Amino acid sequence: MSFDSLGLHAALSKAVADAGYDTPTDVQSKAIPPAIEGRDLMVSSSTGSGKTASFILPALQRILAARGDNTKRREKGVVYGPRVLVLTPTRELAIQVAKAASTYGRHVQGLRVATVVGGVPYPAQIKALRGPLDILISTPGRLLDHLTTGKAVLDHVEVLVLDEADRMLDMGFIEDIQTIAEHVPAERQTLMYSATFAGHVGRLAESLLKNAQRIDVASHTDTHENIEQRLHWADNSTHKNALLDHILTERDMEQAVVFTSTQRDADWLADRLADMGHQVASLHGGMPQGRRNRVLQGLRLKQLRVLVATDVAARGIDVPTISHVINYGLPMKAEDYVHRIGRTGRAGRNGLAVTLAERMDAGMIRRIQQFTTQSIPVATVSGLEPKNPEPRMFPPRPADNKFAGKGFGNRGNDGPRRPGGKPFGPRRDAGFAPRRDDGFAPRRDDGFAARRDDGGAPRREEGFAPRRDDAFKPRGDKAFTSRNDGTFDRRDGASRGAFDRKPADKGTFAGRKAPAGKPAPRPGGKPGFKAQRGQGR
């Protein structure tokens, strides 16, 4: 199949050919035809599969069709806003999409593309929003700022694209997306791209899309055939640095992206590698947008050989010459591992993804392998073998597990049964009763929460547990009143020493008899306690 068979406009087919592409990828061949027809799409595609072109080309086709429709012509001097709105989770991804729109729309006369992201001064963005505009690529937060001030107009949006929707929801943009969708016409085409459509992502898709066609091209469990994965166990940070230095000096390394867990680690590691003579720069969310753009431009122009970045760069870097991805610090979430290694092996090239892990990282390595359903091969470097034994790792459970339903994992009707013959119900994740969204047990009608399994007392609405029978009882009318000098008196006129104590057991002061010839002890160990009782101060 060629791009000519997808029904693209001649100007778009020529631009694709000029970019060096002659055969569409799997996601492009499946998504472009229905998108041109105007259908809503739910697309699951792995990183590096060419999904950006799968929604940019139909969007450009819509713009060309609208220009030929006399009913959709726009008058000069009137602010109409964009025809196509693309929402992305990060600035880097927004810039990448804008670059793709300019590349594939190079033969579309008068095409106007604007990018609205954080970290950029407002005046230039406001000027772009108020002028003629065809495609707007934005992050949800900054676009919502312009909507609040009335600078952004979305009344004539014909196509709404949500790129990396799962990532945007993970970053807390769900309310922003819903607010933006309310400002977009209901009669629109919506294209949603996400690694998964389970949970809150699926619920958002149901609320925004109409009769959407589902396209599953690749998932996180698919094998990356052109990406070789390796796992090196390190004894400590010194050993890990030695492994990193060895990998960066290999002859087959063209360009590398080294991922760290924190911004501080990224700056520190970049300074360390620069002192060793590497052409290196750091990239993270704490940097100004202008500097981030210059770093990415230097990477594309091969002015940089090594880029040290946080997960902010895991989605949005499209540089085919990146031959190595090195996980110096492990990601916070297992799915970010898939996006990290997807920075290499692009445009049909082969890549190498290396993970440097210490023993304390075994839990995350296990979660990554369970998420991808693949084991990362363990490798060693001659002369840098680890001295500590390799942590024990459990292989991912196969889908056709013969023990399924036999007491492992979720139990079915064919699993263990009670003595009466009734099967056990499905096992919950941790064996605890389900919680509400706020994390508290449901309250009863009398205002008390249900008693927990650990025997804790039920709590009242104000958050205090009721007193037990053996607890201290509140005093009645005989409460203490405050003196002006900071001491206390009884309301009934009794002295401060009369505390209504019951006869005390052995070891207490009240009621203790002093030995013959000696005064009663005081709390501080001084004599005269008995003599002072009842006298007050």
Q: What angle do CA 19, 25, 30 make, to 5 degrees?
A: 125
More confident residue, 226 or 214: 214
The Cα 511–Cα 505 span in angstroms is 8
- Same domain, residue pair 194 and 264: no
235 neighbors 387 (Cβ within 8 angstroms)? yes
- Same domain, residue pair 208 and 303: no
The tokens describing 480, both together, are: 């203490």
Q: What is the mean pLDDT of the chain?
A: 78
More confident residue, 87 or 332: 87
Q: Which of 372, 399, 414 is the last residue of a domain?
A: 372
The one-letter amino acid code at 517 reads G
452 neighbors 442 (Cβ within 8 angstroms)? no
What pLDDT sits at residue 353? Answer: 94
In this structure, is residue 488 part of a structural domain? no
What pLDDT sits at residue 334? Answer: 85
What pLDDT sits at residue 498? Answer: 42
The predicted model scores a pTM of 0.61
What pLDDT sits at residue 222? Answer: 58
Spatial CA neighbour of 122 closest among 144, 142, 137: 142
- CATH number for the domain including 209? 3.40.50.300
What pLDDT sits at residue 523? Answer: 53
- Same domain, residue pair 38 and 139: yes
The DSSP symbol for 367 reads: H
In this structure, is residue 95 part of a structural domain? yes
Number of domains in the chain: 2
15 neighbors 106 (Cβ within 8 angstroms)? yes
Residue whose structure tokens are 């599969």? 49
Q: Which of 372, 403, 437 is the last residue of a domain?
A: 372
- Same domain, residue pair 150 and 43: yes
The mean per-residue pLDDT over the stretch 166-183 comes to 89
Share of the chain above pLDDT 90, in %: 44
What pLDDT sits at residue 47? Answer: 64
- Same domain, residue pair 297 and 178: no
Spatial CA neighbour of 258 closest among 234, 241, 238: 241
The mean per-residue pLDDT over the stretch 106-130 comes to 90
Residues 6+ apart with CB under 8 A from 482: 488
In this structure, is residue 99 part of a structural domain? yes
Per-position DSSP letters for 455-479, written without gaps between them? -PPP--TTS-PPP-TTSPPPP-S--
**188-219 confidence digits (pLDDT tens):** 999 999 877 878 888 999 999 999 999 988 65
- Same domain, residue pair 159 and 239: no
- Same domain, residue pair 233 and 212: no
In this structure, is residue 198 part of a structural domain? yes
The tokens describing 385, both together, are: 């073998």
239 neighbors 250 (Cβ within 8 angstroms)? no
Ramachandran angles phi, psi of 159, nearest 5°: -130, 125
pLDDT band at 258; cut points 50, 70, 90: very high
* Per-residue pLDDT at 36 exceeds 60: yes
What pLDDT sits at residue 79? Answer: 86
Alpha-helix runs per DSSP H in 436-532: 529-532
- Same domain, residue pair 166 and 146: yes
- Same domain, residue pair 254 and 167: no
- Same domain, residue pair 209 and 248: no
The mean per-residue pLDDT over the stretch 316-320 comes to 78
Spatial CA neighbour of 490 closest among 478, 500, 506, 473: 478
**390-449 confidence digits (pLDDT tens):** 887 765 555 555 444 444 444 444 444 444 444 444 444 444 444 444 444 444 444 444
Q: Which of 190, 216, 242 is the last residue of a domain?
A: 216
pLDDT band at 515; cut points 50, 70, 90: low
Residues 6+ apart with CB under 8 A from 260: 266, 269, 308, 309, 310, 328, 329
What pLDDT sits at residue 437? Answer: 47
- Same domain, residue pair 125 and 35: yes
Give bridge partners of residue 449 from the DSSP assignment.
Answer: 443
In this structure, is residue 405 part of a structural domain? no
In this structure, is residue 501 part of a structural domain? no
Q: By residue range, what is the domain housing residue 138? A: 3-216
The Cα 496–Cα 492 span in angstroms is 11
In this structure, is residue 243 part of a structural domain? yes
Spatial CA neighbour of 95 closest among 232, 299, 261: 299
